[in-house]
Amino acid sequence: MDKRRTRNAIASAASGSPLISAGTFFTNAKRAAPLDLTRMTQRSATKRPWKDTLVDMLVGVDADTIVIGAGAAGLAAARSLAGRSVRVLVLEARDRVGGRVWSRPVARNATPAELGAEFIHGRGELTVQLLREAGAAAIDTEGEGWTCSKDGELRREDWDLSSTAGIFEAAGALPDDESVDRFLRRFERDRATRETARAARAFVEGFDAADPAIASARAIASEMRSGVDFAIARPLGGYGPMFEHLRNACVAAGVRIWLSTIVRRISWRRGAVAIDMSCGGESQTVHARTAILTLPVGVLRRRGDELAVAFDPNLPDAKIKALQSIEMGHVVKVALWFRSAFWERVRDGRYRDAAFFRCERQSFVTYWTQLPVRSTLVVAWVGGPKAVALSGIAEAELIERALNGFGALLNEPELAREEFEGGLTHDWGGDPFARGAYSYVAVGGGNARAALSAPVDDTMFFAGEATSTDDQDGTVNGALETGERAAAEAATALGVEAR
């Protein structure tokens, strides 16, 4: 789309009547999306005043709200708005819904390979409710922890999260925020607290996927106080059925979901949004009254290449500042599956009930089984700077390293190779529609999530895990809740009654 003409269109949108300005937007579109007249007519007959619909048809508004992204936040927002009779169009760059949730079935296994999210953190009420709707269930994680000691032996040791939380309590009272690295170093110097501080550092790297040199100690302290890390469950059978259900519920409520549609530019003025996108190599522009953006922070921060999303005019300074204080954490996660759960048999069955294996010296610091479901699938995981160190390594090599690490951990390298059937991984850092795994707050970024989540001109609304302000950032449940929050904000701006 011609940038100058878009600007003119927006200028007239700002000054003229909504009807004329929206029409100007429409004229400037390279190829306008066909309007869904059948659905519009049906809706007008039942829930919306016919005049609204007729005006929209004349001026070329494609939807009341365009939702960008069909991950947890986007689908939750779309479903919620459609339930309020708002006409919703979802634009998604990938050829699938789910975003950073990606369940891949594995032959002969009750549990899929979850390349993205796998667990439910905290109480996860919305997640549990959606699982029920989907005919699925959540099960608590259980099983033993085994940690490698200096002599290389695995010893029974569960992760003591309460001492990590204890050490971070002092961070809440810091006069000024500081990095996790600086905060923990003073405890690491003291012999009495050294081991606890090291475990806390490992937690921030492994669990928050954060770089301790950048991460805010206060933000981690707040996360610890919230208790979100203390309860962990998993969807029985994986997240796949829940997202399938969400998508079906959206479609049944009249939401249009356009996959393989990459948003390139978002032009906006109060009450009007024009979105340039490319779909199968073709450019197209769509228009709406409001937009909900669920783009990951890594995507929003991206500048200067053809995959960056441009804003016209640029985002307000407060948003730019917020984006500078929220980082994308990095994770490398590899799913490995075997002919049998051979680790349950070795060493006279001592690892039969193992849920987690940990070894800081390994490239992959943590391995976990699928307990309480007995399965032949094992996941290798590393987060934070150690994950960044693996960036650029080919997927086949990562799978190989994960397999070798698991064999070495159990002291059964040959058996692990013999039993190995396959592996899967995904490079979230290199993924242009994610640019990392999940977000964390940098030093001094205390209000950044609230600033990122704030609406702009009652026209652009922001959702996605990074906009969660109650310590559920970086989780599926947090993302779902932000989607519902942004939907309520957009509904109010559109003058639609609450559900």
Stretch that binds ligand FAD, among 36-44, 356-364, 434-442, 487-495 (CB under 6 A): 434-442
By beta-carbon proximity to ligand FAD, the closer residue of 99 and 407 is 99
Which positions from 93 through 152 interact with ligand FAD, judged by CB under 6 A?
Answer: 93-94, 99-101, 116-119, 121
Binding mask 299-318 for ligand FAD (x = CB under 6 A): x---------x---------
Kindly state the smallest distance separating residue 368's Cβ from ligand FAD, in Å: 10
Binding-site member from 74, 145, 384, 407 for ligand FAD (CB under 6 A): 74
Of the listed pieces 141-149, 171-179, 411-419, 427-435, which binds ligand FAD according to CB under 6 A? 427-435
Nearer to ligand FAD, 174 or 279 (CB): 279
The CB-of-125 to ligand FAD minimum distance in angstroms stands at 13
Whether residue 291 contacts residue 66, with contact meaning beta carbons closer than 8 Å, is answered with yes
Residue 133 CB, nearest distance to ligand FAD (Å)?
18
**Footprint of ligand FAD on 466-495 (CB under 6 A):** 474-476, 479
Task: Please say which residue, 242 or 493, places its beta carbon nearer to ligand FAD.
Answer: 242
Q: How many CB atoms lie within 10 A of CB 409?
A: 24
x-or-dash pattern for ligand FAD, window 446-465, by CB under 6 A?
------------------xx
Q: Which of 48, 256, 330, 333 binds ligand FAD (CB under 6 A)?
A: 333
Residues 6+ apart with CB under 8 A from 45: none
| Total of chain residues touching ligand FAD, rule CB under 6 A | 39
CA distance 429 to 208: 15
**8 A C-beta contact, residue 363 and residue 387:** no
Answer yes or no whether residue 235 interacts with ligand FAD by CB under 6 A: no
Tell which one of 40, 249, 262, 323 touches ligand FAD (CB under 6 A): 262
- Picking from 29, 14, 384, the residue whose alpha carbon sits closest to that of residue 203 is 384
Site string for ligand FAD, 147-176 (x = CB under 6 A): ------------------------------
Nearer to ligand FAD, 23 or 384 (CB): 384
Q: Is 59 in the site for ligand FAD (CB under 6 A)?
A: no
Kindly state whether residue 433 participates in binding ligand FAD, applying the rule CB under 6 A.
yes
Query: What HEC string does the chain produce?
Result: CCHHHHHHHHHHHHHCCHHHHHHHHHHHCCCECCCCHHHHHHHHHHCCCHHHHHHHHHHCCCEEEEEECCCHHHHHHHHHHHCCCCCEEEECCCCCCCCCCCEECCCCCCCCEECCCCCEECCCHHHHHHHHHCCCCEEECCCEEEEECCCCCEEECCCCHHHHHHHHHHHHHCCCCCEHHHHHHHHHHCHHHHHHHHHHHHHHHHCCCCCCCCEEHHHHHHHHHHCCCCCEEEECCCCHHHHHHHHHHHHHCCCEEECCEEEEEEEEECCEEEEEEEECCEEEEEEEEEEEECCCHHHHHCCCCCCCCEEECCCCHHHHHHHHCEEEECEEEEEEEECCCHHHCHHHHCCCCEEEEECCCCCCCEEECCCCCCCCEEEEEEECHHHHCCCCCCHHHHHHHHHHHHHHHHCCHHHHHHHEEEEEECCCCCCCCCCCCEEEEECCCCCHHHHHHCCECCCEEECCHHHCCCCCCCCHHHHHHHHHHHHHHHHHHHCCCCC
Q: How far apart are CA 165 and CA 200, in angstroms?
A: 8
Among 23, 71, 212, 405, binds ligand FAD (CB under 6 A): 71
Q: List the interface residues with ligand FAD, window 196-215 (CB under 6 A).
A: none
- Cβ of residue 47: shortest distance to ligand FAD, in angstroms? 27
Stretch that binds ligand FAD, among 62-70, 156-164, 177-185, 445-453 (CB under 6 A): 62-70
CB of 28 to ligand FAD, least distance (A): 20
- Between 116 and 212, name the residue whose CB sits nearer to ligand FAD: 116
Q: Does the footprint of ligand FAD cover residue 271 (CB under 6 A)?
A: no
Shortest reach from residue 393's CB to ligand FAD, in Å: 16
Handedness of CA 215, 220, 222, 226 (dihedral sign): positive
User: What is the DSSP pairing of strand 282-293 with strand 272-279?
Assistant: antiparallel
- Least distance between ligand FAD and beta carbon 277 (Å): 7
Among 82, 275, 328, 331, binds ligand FAD (CB under 6 A): 331
Interaction mask 281-300, ligand FAD, x per CB under 6 A? -------------xxx--x-
**Site residues, ligand FAD (CB under 6 A):** 68-74, 91-94, 99-101, 116-119, 121, 262-263, 294-296, 299, 309, 331, 333, 428, 433-434, 437-438, 464-465, 474-476, 479
